[in-house]
């Protein structure tokens, strides 16, 4: 019984450990994003984001520093080490996206689709049968949040 409950808690934190997050619920979906913005924000050749409802997610002691470069997209980072923490997009209302690389157990949440495959780096080959959307997967993501 106890073990089951532990496994249901999702948690993670930034590189330096100053900021932690947790959720009592598993992400409602997980997606690769090959877009240039997510690449820059994460420093990785492709980002993988897990999607939560805003109210399910808690950052402690806070969410770090919010940065908006492009209108409609807000991202927060640890002010000490720079790890990406939360990303929110106006076209995905009520949802918060967290990079899978800061999860304590990323192995538990495999991606379900590829977003912005048209911007994928040519040398990056991911061999899977997941659906690949050339650009935004907003409809799919909004759908799976319901
Ligand atoms: Zn940090
Ligand atoms: Zn992206």
User: What's the CA-to-centroid distance between 122 and ligand 2, angstroms?
Assistant: 16
Residue 115 falls inside a structural domain: yes
Distance 25 CA to ligand 2 centre (A): 23
At 47, which CATH number?
3.90.1590.10
Out of 86-95, 115-124, 132-141, which region has the weakest mean confidence (pLDDT)? 132-141
Contact by Cβ (8 Å): 133, 114: yes
Range of the domain at 76: 9-144
* Helix, strand, coil share of the chain (percent; to 5): 25, 35, 45
Residue 135 within a domain: yes
pTM of the model: 0.91
Q: Is 126 a domain residue? A: yes
Total domains in the fold of the chain: 1
Segment among 29-38, 76-85, 137-146 with least mean pLDDT? 137-146
Q: Is residue 3 part of a domain?
A: no
Q: With a cut of 70, say whether residue 4 has pLDDT above it.
A: no
Within a domain: residue 1? no
More confident residue, 50 or 136: 50
CA of 1 to the centre of ligand 2 (A): 38
Domain-located, residue 4:
no
Q: Cα of 116 to ligand 2 centre, how many Å?
A: 7
Band of pLDDT at residue 137, cut at 50, 70 and 90: confident
The pLDDT tens digits for 118-127 are 999 999 999 9
- Is residue 2 one of the residues assigned to a domain? no
* pLDDT of res. 97: 98
Helix (H, G, I), strand (E, B) or coil at 108: helix
Question: Is 124 within the bounds of a domain?
Answer: yes
Q: What is the pLDDT of residues 28-52, one digit of tens each?
A: 999 999 999 999 999 999 999 999 9
Phi, psi dihedrals of residue 137, rounded to the nearest 5°:
-110, 30
């Amino acid at each position: 019984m106890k073990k089951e409950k532990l496994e249901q808690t999702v948690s993670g934190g930034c590189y330096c450990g100053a900021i932690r997050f947790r959720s009592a619920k598993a992400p409602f979906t997980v997606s690769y994003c090959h877009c240039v913005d997510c690449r820059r924000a994460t420093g990785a050749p492709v980002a993988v984001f897990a999607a939560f409802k805003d109210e399910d997610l808690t950052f402690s002691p806070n969410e770090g520093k919010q940065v908006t470069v492009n209108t409609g997209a807000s991202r927060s980072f640890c002010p000490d080490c720079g790890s990406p923490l939360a990303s929110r997009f106006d076209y995905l209302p009520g949802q918060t996206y967290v990079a899978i690389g800061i999860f304590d157990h990323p192995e538990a949440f495999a991606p379900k689709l590829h977003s912005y495959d048209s911007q994928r780096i040519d040398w990056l080959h991911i061999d899977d049968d997941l659906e690949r959307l050339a650009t935004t997967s907003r409809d799919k993501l909004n759908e799976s949040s319901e």
